[in-house]
Amino acid sequence: MTQLENEQLQRFITAALTEDVGDGDHTSRSTIPPNAVGEAQLIIKEPGILAGVEEALAVFREVEAALSITTFKSDGDAVDVGEVVLTVRGSIHSILLAERLVLNIMQRMSGIATTTHRIVAAIAGTGTKVLDTRKTTPLLRFLEKKAVLIGGGVNHRFGLYDMMLIKDNHVDYAGGITNAIRRANDYRKKMDRPIAIEVEVRNLGEIEQVLAVGGVERIMLDNFTPDALREAVALINGRLVTEASGGITIDNIRDYAMVGVDFISIGALTHSVKSLDMSLKAKVVD
């Protein structure tokens, strides 16, 4: 983890704990002696791909550095029901303060990693890579996109700032594909850093317009059928990086990948994924 990523994670953890704890965990304060020591195990309750271990350790450290943690599994590991990911020992109050945030992070990230892994496996051997999108939970994008990587996927642009993606609304507002591409190229010539341009197209005619004007690196083929996508990829003929998007699921993704497209982007990796079930079970230590 880079220093910038670590700082982002620490800001997130601080804000999340503030949101949850408020002026104190009054349930624990009222029921458990302040100096009670305990141990807890993080237990998997359904099979999947594990993600978020690093973040969980950061949460425990933020709550109390003196907590003793032993890990048995790592990010990217396949896990099954009943397996123990980690144990934590120390102040019961601190363990319970950290519990929900640890689980929220790990369940969400593991769910994304598991879904990504299944989709990547469905197109194994095709050469096509699976991309995420910006359809993420606000302020959790850095965790969700990391989970996609852990699951074997590839990150698309992180935000609006690291790639130009000319979509249908941009094209319509700009007065057409040609105008949009030319303006985007004029704009990036004035930038002090490199940035790629991708254009979304809806039919073969728009592909021909993109190829005619040039000046872009990638083309997104939106809501094409597999047969139409095959024709589109043949028309592009390797001149641009190709990405298919829209209406693609685990059930039909192999049909799309088999036509030779470079990338397939799936918003469902992050916007509607089911969290992986796990729990933190505590016991008092004598």
Helices 141-150 and 3-21 sit at what angle, rounded to 10 degrees? 120
What are the angstrom distances between the C-alpha of 158 and each of 163, 178, 246?
8, 26, 19
Q: Residue 135 catalytic?
A: yes
Q: Residue 189 catalytic?
A: no
Q: Is 89 exposed, middle or buried (0-12, 13-18, 19+ CB in 10 A)?
A: middle
Q: Residue 172 catalytic?
A: no
Q: Residue 200 catalytic?
A: yes
Instruction: Select which of 45, 89, 100, 129 is catalytic.
Output: 100
Q: Residue 73 catalytic?
A: no
- Closest listed residue to residue 126, CA positions, set 269, 229, 235, 246: 229
Instruction: Select which of 167, 239, 274, 281 is catalytic.
Output: 167
Instruction: Select which of 134, 135, 157, 182 is catalytic.
Output: 135
- Closest listed residue to residue 116, CA positions, set 284, 266, 252, 8: 266
Instruction: Select which of 200, 206, 243, 262 is catalytic.
Output: 200
Indicate the SS3 state at residue 215.
coil
Reported as half-sphere exposure (CB side, CA atoms, 13 A), residue 248 has a value of 30
Instruction: Select which of 132, 222, 243, 262 is catalytic.
Output: 222
- Closest listed residue to residue 63, CA positions, set 10, 106, 115, 105: 10
Residue 143 DSSP symbol: H
Active site residues: 100, 135, 167, 200, 222
